[in-house]
Amino acid sequence: MKKITTFENKKVLVLGLAKSGMAAARLLFKLGALVTVNDFKAFDENPEAQELLEEGIKVVTGGHPVELLDEDFELMVKNPGIRYDNPMVVRAQELGLSVLTEIELAYLVSEAPIIGITGTNGKTTTTTLIGALLKAGGQSPQLAGNIGFPASTVATTAHRTDTIVMETSSFQLMGIDQFHPKIAVITNIYSTHLDYHGTQANYEAAKWNLQKNMTSDDVLILNFNQDKMKDYAKKTNASVLAFSTREVTDGAYVLDGEIYFKNQHLMATKALSLPGEHNIENALAAICVAKRCGVSNDKIISVLTTFEGVRHRLQYLGLAKGRRAYNDTEATNIEATKKALTGFDHQKLWLFIGGLDRGNGFEALEASIKDVKGLVISGETTPKLVAIAKKYDIPYLVSDYVEDGMEKVFPLTKEGDTLLLSPACASWGQYTRAEERGDRFIAAFEKMK
Which residues on adjacent β-strands are paired with residue 253?
244, 260
pLDDT in tens, 13-27: 999 999 999 999 999
Cα separation, 194 vs 218, whole angstroms: 30
DSSP for 279-317, please give it.
Answer: HHHHHHHHHHHHHHTT--HHHHHHHHTT---BTTBSEEE
Ramachandran region, residue 299 (left: φ > 0; alpha: ψ -120 to 50; beta: rest): alpha
Strands (DSSP E) contained in 16-57 are 34-39
| pLDDT surpasses 90 at 436 | yes
Q: Which of 70, 108, 84 is nearest to 15 (CA)?
A: 84
Contact at 8 Å (CB) between 242 and 251?
A: yes
Those residues with Cβ within 8 angstroms of residue 338's Cβ, 6 or more apart along the chain or in another chain = 364, 365, 368
Contact at 8 Å (CB) between 118 and 210?
A: yes
> Residue 127 has what pLDDT?
97
pLDDT in tens, 299-319: 999 999 999 788 898 888 989
A 10 A CB-CB count for 172 gives: 30
Q: What is the mean pLDDT of the chain?
A: 96
Torsions phi, psi for 251 (to 5 deg) = 175, -130
pLDDT in tens, 92-104: 999 999 999 999 9
Q: What is the CATH number of domain 11-100?
A: 3.40.50.720
> Residue 85 has what pLDDT?
93
pLDDT in tens, 331-366: 999 989 998 998 899 999 999 999 999 899 999 999
Alpha helices (runs of H) in 100-169, residue ranges in sequence order: 102-109, 123-136, 151-157
Q: Where are the domains of the chain?
A: 11-100, 103-304, 315-448
Contact at 8 Å (CB) between 411 and 405?
A: no
Is 122 annotated as belonging to a binding site?
Answer: yes
> Residue 201 has what pLDDT?
94
Task: Enter the DSSP assignment of 227.
Answer: H
- Sheet order of strands, 34-39 included: 58-61, 34-39, 11-15, 75-78, 98-100
Is 373 annotated as belonging to a binding site?
Answer: no
**Measuring CA to CA, how many Å separate 405 from each of 15, 381, 390, 391, 411?**
39, 15, 19, 21, 11
With a pLDDT cut of 70, the percent of the chain lying above it is 100
| pLDDT surpasses 80 at 394 | yes
373-405: string of b/e by CB count within 10 Å (b at 16+)? bbbbbbbbbbebbbebbeeeebebbbbeebeeb
| pLDDT surpasses 80 at 193 | no
CATH architecture for segment(s) 315-448: Alpha-Beta Complex (3.90)
Q: Which of 361, 333, 357 is nearest to 429 (CA)?
A: 357
Is 119 annotated as belonging to a binding site?
Answer: yes
Which listed CATH number (3.20.20.450, 1.10.3720.10, 3.40.640.10, 3.40.1190.10) goes with 103-304?
A: 3.40.1190.10
Q: In terms of residues, how long is the chain?
A: 449
In the structure, what pLDDT confidence band is assigned to residue 44 with cuts at 50, 70 and 90? very high
Is 81 annotated as belonging to a binding site?
Answer: no
Is 438 annotated as belonging to a binding site?
Answer: no
In the structure, what pLDDT confidence band is assigned to residue 204 with cuts at 50, 70 and 90? very high
In the structure, what pLDDT confidence band is assigned to residue 150 with cuts at 50, 70 and 90? very high
